[in-house]
C-alpha cells in the first residue's frame, strides 16, 4: 500500500500535468487563431475576454500570451495589455521572402509523400474556399488547413515549426488579402500547386507556392499603402 507521502507526490504530479496540458492547449489555441488570421493587426487583446472565449481562467491565458510575446507574435503594452503588432511594408516583404524559401522547401519535400486521398482532400478544401459566397473567416481558416496539410507531409517537424513562426507574424495581415480579386487568383494558384504535387513536379510546386506567397504579400502592401495614404490625407484635411 503506498505511503501518504507517495500518494501526495502522485496527486501533485497529476495536478501539475493537468495544468501543463491546459496551458499548452490555450497556447496552441491562441497560436492557431493568430496563424489563421482571426485576429487583426493592432487589435488589443483582453486577458479576461479571451479567457471567457476559451472557457478558462485568466492564468493560462496570461501565460500563453507571454510565450507569444517571446516569439514576437504579439506585443506587451502598458496596463498589462497585449496587442497584435502592425508590420510595415518592408517587414512584411522580408517575412514573405523568408516564407517563400521555407515553404518552397516544404512542398518540395512533400512531393512523393502525398497520394490520391491527399489530392482529393486538397481539391475539396480549395472548392470550399472559392465556391459560393465568400466567408472571409472561413476562407482564412481553410487556407491555413490547405497549406499546412501539405507542409506536414514534408515530414520535417523543425521546418514546420519555422513556418508556423512566420505565419504567426503574417497571419493577422492575411485579413487584408481576403478580397474578391485575391480569391480569383488564389483559386488558380492552389489548383496549379495540387497539379504539380500530383505530377511529382517538385520544382513546379516550389515555384507555385513562392508565387502564391509573394503575390499575396504585394497585394497586402498595396492595401497598407492605400490605407496609410488615406489616413495622411484625412489628417491633412483637418
Q: Cβ of 221: how many Cβ atoms within 10 Å?
A: 19
Q: Which has the minimum average pLDDT: 100-114, 122-136, 143-157, 190-204?
A: 122-136
The Cα 41–Cα 34 span in angstroms is 10
With helix as H, strand as E and coil as C, how does 60-87 read? HHHHHHHHHHHCCCCEEEHHHEEECCCC
**pLDDT tens column, 171-188:** 888 766 655 455 555 778
* Helix (H) and strand (E) counts in the chain: 9, 3
Of residues 155 and 52, more confidence is placed in 155
Distance of CA 184 to the CA centre of its chain: 21
Name the range with the highest mean pLDDT among 19-33, 43-57, 110-124: 110-124
pLDDT at 153: 98
Query: Which has the closest alpha carbon to 164: 103, 88, 230, 208?
Result: 103
The Cα 63–Cα 45 span in angstroms is 13
- 117-128: average pLDDT: 94
Which structural domains are found in the chain, ordered by start? 4-83 (1.10.10.10), 89-237 (1.20.120.530)
pLDDT at 231: 57
Rounded to 5 degrees, what are φ and ψ at 114?
-110, 145
Rounded to 5 degrees, what are φ and ψ at 37?
80, 25
Query: Which has the closest alpha carbon to 74: 56, 110, 103, 47?
Result: 47
Q: Which has the minimum average pLDDT: 79-83, 106-110, 134-138, 150-154?
A: 134-138
SS3 label, residue 45: strand
Amino acid at each position: 500500500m503506498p505511503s501518504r507521502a507517495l500518494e501526495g507526490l502522485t496527486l501533485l504530479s497529476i495536478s501539475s500535468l493537468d495544468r501543463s496540458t491546459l496551458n499548452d492547449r490555450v497556447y496552441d489555441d491562441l497560436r492557431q487563431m493568430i496563424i489563421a488570421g482571426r485576429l487583426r493587426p493592432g487589435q488589443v487583446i483582453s486577458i479576461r475576454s479571451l479567457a471567457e472565449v476559451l472557457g478558462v481562467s485568466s492564468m493560462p491565458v496570461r501565460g500563453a500570451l507571454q510565450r507569444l510575446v517571446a516569439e514576437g507574435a504579439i506585443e506587451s503594452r502598458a496596463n498589462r495589455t497585449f496587442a497584435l503588432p502592425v508590420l510595415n511594408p518592408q517587414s512584411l516583404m522580408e517575412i514573405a521572402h523568408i516564407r517563400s524559401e521555407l515553404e518552397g522547401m516544404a512542398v518540395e519535400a512533400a512531393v512523393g509523400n502525398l497520394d490520391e486521398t491527399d489530392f482529393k482532400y486538397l481539391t475539396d478544401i480549395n472548392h470550399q474556399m472559392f465556391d459560393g459566397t465568400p466567408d472571409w473567416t472561413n476562407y482564412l481558416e481553410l487556407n491555413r488547413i490547405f497549406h499546412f496539410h501539405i507542409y506536414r507531409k514534408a515530414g520535417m517537424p523543425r521546418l514546420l515549426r519555422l513556418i508556423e513562426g512566420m505565419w504567426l507574424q503574417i497571419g493577422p495581415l492575411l485579413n487584408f488579402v481576403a478580397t474578391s480579386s485575391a480569391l480569383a487568383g488564389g483559386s488558380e494558384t492552389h489548383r496549379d500547386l495540387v497539379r504539380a504535387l500530383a505530377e511529382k513536379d517538385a520544382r513546379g510546386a516550389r515555384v507555385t507556392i513562392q508565387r502564391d506567397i509573394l503575390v499575396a504579400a504585394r497585394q497586402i502592401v498595396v492595401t497598407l499603402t492605400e490605407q496609410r495614404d488615406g489616413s495622411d490625407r484625412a489628417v491633412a484635411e483637418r
